[in-house]
Structure 1
């Protein structure tokens, strides 16, 4: 059973997931703190390039299965046109109501 994006506990994470699922690049950028960083499977990536490839040009979608750490740690079924669906984990660092870093990888 999944958790609807609008029911996620942390407002910054909620905005992030909502933007991903709406394929809304403007809302995605608005959810991020200036200079936000990220890693994928333990390797730091250029966030803009990664988001374009893994989310926006490939229609990425997060179906959140569970949340921990006050909503800043998620397990989700992530799917896109490139890789299909896979179970993933996401951890978020939030500063001043924006995501300043996220780390994702296979769960």
Structure 2
């Protein structure tokens, strides 16, 4: 069963996932703190380069399957035009109502 982005329990995560699924680059970056960081499969990446390549240039989309840790951890089917669909995990750190870090990787 998929959880729609609008029904995710944590407001900062909800804003980020909604923007990602809408391919709304401005809203996505607005949902992040200045200096936000991320990692993919345990390796820190340049956030803007990674997001441009893995989300915005390739129409990335998250179909959330479950959430835990008060909405800060997700398991989702992630798809984009480069890699197709894969089961992924997402972990978010939130500061002052915005995402300051996210970690993703295959689940």
TM-score range, shorter chain: over 0.9
What SS does the corresponding residue of 1:27 show, helix, strand or coil? helix
Distance 1:46 1:15 in 2: 21
Distance 1:32 1:87 in 2: 23
Aligned length: 107
Q: CA deviation at 1:82?
A: 0.1
TM-score (norm 1): 1.00
Q: Give structure 1 stretches of 5+ with no counterpart.
A: none
Q: Give structure 2 stretches of 5+ with no counterpart.
A: none
State the partner residue of 1:55.
55
What SS does the corresponding residue of 2:39 show, helix, strand or coil? strand
Q: Deviations over 1:35-79 (max 9, x none)?
A: 000000000000000000000000000000000000000000000
C-alpha RMSD of matched pairs (Å): 0.3
